[in-house]
Structure 1
Amino acid sequence: MTPTTFGAAAQGFVRDLDEDFVRIAATIDRARAAGVQVLALPEAAMGGYLSSLHDVPGTPADRPPQLDPDGPEIRRLVALAGDMVVAAGYCETGDDASGGRPYNSCVAVTGDGILGHHRKVHQPINENSSYAAGDRFAAFDTPYGRTGMMICYDKAFPEAARALADDGARTVLCLSAWPASRTNRAPVLAEDRWARRFDLHDRSRALENQFVWVSANQAGTFGDMQLVASAKIVDPGGEVLATTGSEAGLAVATVDVDAEVDAARRVMGHLRDRRPAAYGPGPVHAGV
């Protein structure tokens, strides 16, 4: 394949969908002007994330608008994408399987329609009081190669990224609304321990699986959270090719995905050299 130009956005979003689409359109325009072919927008770009992961009893819950995966908002994203692949997060209307509870979801589209869809599997703190969990990781084909998606806390679990690699993904788009620490927050955002963890997960997942990692994140403040930004593109060796740092912005990098992935796996092939029989199923640990 020829080289692909990736964009990863660090940007804030709100409850007002019309305002969110103004911001999405502006970011797509900026990315298109930079030659971006695959753009990752953050988790909850359509409708905003939860305003708190620490609900106070007696305080009315502030929840994102629930959107139909076949509804007008997704069609609006499709129309904006044109010839670009655009991934964005949203709150998906619940179904019978979820008992009517919504999912924290993301979708990848082009102007021709939907390419892939993912429901967040791993739920931090008490996110499960607001969303039902997804139950799978699956790659999908795009004009720029086989791709996977995950959302935020999913990245903290090596098995999630490995499942996508096993399904043939050579690029993963990870969409987040990752906050800084709630307690003992560092005075410099880039030095906050949760910001460092965000970056470590990004680099580790790319290196472990030797694929291209495109990480978008919310920026600024929302509710009681300070979001860490730090959108980036990471190569199959775990090297950061472009990043927004702790500011809002757009990270852009061009990668020959097949050439870089093949080169990374040629000698030290992490997928090839595994010994699954030695690992076993492992114990199941109760939460503490």
Structure 2
Amino acid sequence: MALTGIAAVAAHFGRDLDFDLDRIATLIEHARDSGAQLLVLPDAAVGGYLPDLREPDDGNLPPALPPDDPHLARIGSLARDMVVCVGYCEADGDVRFNTALAVTGDGVLGRHRKVHQPPGERAVYAAGDRFAAFDTPAGRVGMLIDYDKTFPESARSLAVDGAEIIACLSAWPTSITNRAPRMSQDRQARLFDLYDQARAAENQVVLASANQTGALGGMRFLGQAKVVGPGGDILARTWSKAGIAVAEVDVAGELANARRVLHHLGERKPEAYGGTS
């Protein structure tokens, strides 16, 4: 039985890139000390997220970084033999993407540009156009960025592509239209947990979900980082506070056990789905 240490972070990140990199360095060391081989950081951990989805372009946008930016290279150096998934605002010429990278000390292993965008994001970011899994020392991994996980097809595409672990990087806020007096009563808090557990269970994969905490502009972020098993069971979590959720998982064994009788991917009938996957 080979155990893989999987860690998901709940923490706050803002516009100060040096501060963000210092915090990432600390989190990588804490995860390493906890035995993690895979660390999932939140969306926009380098440079922070949008301050408001209703008026996103208020002159306080995240810094747009090219793929060869030294801050991103520094994260790879810090990761060394660990796989680290991190989100940032990617500059591709004059176009911005909400992007996640998976890196080790050897370089970039995978890249994902957020495909599904809430209305406010569309004014700032272009949309990605694909989901693809990739091999890492921690196993075959696929990445989603916050709103992506609302759509079952996103995680299903990764699972069909062989992903054993899905890394969900989020900057997921409390409800903007119907604020609850307490986080536990918030509609988005309930949905965040529901999607994490459903995406893991329906695809029978391990899911690591990271999220921002604290506030930025008009946004208040949920936290609730967690590691979820292929039966939808939460193996470790942070609740709403900052921290690292760490679980040691026999990934191959857990997937094999979950799929021993009911094998969701093998029992699909795409011809009956009317063009959906």
Distance (Å, rounded) in 1 between the aligned partners of 2:213 and 2:120 = 21
* Identity fraction in percent: 57
Aligned residue in 1 for 2:30: 30
| Alignment counterpart, residue 71 of structure 2, candidates 67, 70, 73 | 73
Q: Which AA in structure 2 matches 1:51?
A: P
Distance (Å, rounded) in 2 between the aligned partners of 1:197 and 1:34 = 29
Distance (Å, rounded) in 2 between the aligned partners of 1:155 and 1:114 = 23
Deviations 1:130-179 (A, max 9, x none): 00000000000001111100100000000010100111000010000000
Aligned residue in 2 for 1:205: 199
Q: Shift of residue 36 of structure 1?
A: 1.1
Larger CA deviation: 71-80 vs 36-45: 71-80
What TM-score, normalized by structure 2, do the two folds share?
Answer: 0.97
Deviations 1:52-74 (A, max 9, x none): 10118xx8331111111122121
Q: Shift of residue 125 of structure 1?
A: 2.1
Distance (Å, rounded) in 1 between the aligned partners of 2:171 and 2:178 = 19
| Alignment counterpart, residue 166 of structure 2, candidates 153, 166, 172 | 172
Aligned residues: 276
Aligned residue in 1 for 2:62: 64
Aligned residue in 1 for 2:222: 228
Distance (Å, rounded) in 2 between the aligned partners of 1:64 and 1:107 = 16
Contact conserved, 1:6 with 1:253, CA < 8 A, in 2? yes
| Alignment counterpart, residue 148 of structure 1, candidates 128, 142, 153 | 142
- Secondary structure, in 3 states, of the residue corresponding to 2:162? coil
Is 1:85 matched up with 2:79?
no
Deviations 1:94-128 (A, max 9, x none): 24xxxx22000010011111110000000012201
Following TM superposition, where does structure 1 have runs of at least 4 consecutive aligned residues deviating by more than 3 angstroms?
Answer: none
Q: CA RMSD in A?
A: 1.2
Contact conserved, 1:210 with 1:236, CA < 8 A, in 2? yes
Aligned residue in 2 for 1:285: none
Distance (Å, rounded) in 1 between the aligned partners of 2:108 and 2:95 = 23
Aligned residue in 1 for 2:188: 194
Is 1:219 matched up with 2:213?
yes
Aligned residue in 2 for 1:47: 47
Is 1:109 matched up with 2:107?
no
- Secondary structure, in 3 states, of the residue corresponding to 1:63? coil
Is 1:262 matched up with 2:256?
yes
